Amino acid sequence: MEGMKKKVLLGSPAMVLLFLGVAMLLMLPGVSAKRWIVGESNGWGTNFNYTTWAKGKHFYNGDWLFFVYDRNQMNVLEVNKTDYESCNSDHPLHNWTTGAGRDVVPLNVTRTYYFISGKGFCFGGMKIAVHVENLPPPPKAAPIKSGAPTLSSSGHIILMPVVFAIGAAWDAFIHFW
């Protein structure tokens, strides 16, 4: 009786729709935020040019900055542009220092962020300005050339791999359930 109840649940329309929905979500391309390790292998420390490191990089809304440093000596302070340029750590906008030397800063507003390390380290180059922008729009689809297969004329080009993928996933689901 219990085995029969399990078969009925697996074959129910709700389970089929749920499984198909999950399968379709898994096939969608993912866009994810990037976690930037400030200074990469050098971390957040002295004798490193963070302006050069940030140059040419694109920081997008939703990305994260990950500061790795000696927690006993340094810190991560967000300041305004004036305090950034003068290395003034007296009135930070936000102190991101958590005490572990592994601080994560979310870049969730489109603007320029200014970070310094206080205790005199800013004068040695421990400062970085990061301009955060919105993600660019997705590229436009190329125009359809005459004679090229289209979804309406030969939908089996896309449909068949999807059907096989769903079938294989369904088979694995039933066998391992």
Mean pLDDT, residues 4-30 taken together: 53
How far is it, in rounded angstroms, from Cα 98 to Cα 92?
15
Q: Is 78 within 8 Å of 114 (Cβ atoms)?
A: yes
Rounded (5°) CA angle 47-93-80? 65
Q: Is 17 within 8 Å of 163 (Cβ atoms)?
A: no
Mean pLDDT, residues 19-25 taken together: 55
The tens digit of pLDDT for each residue in 56-104 reads 999 999 999 999 999 999 999 999 999 999 999 999 999 999 989 999 9
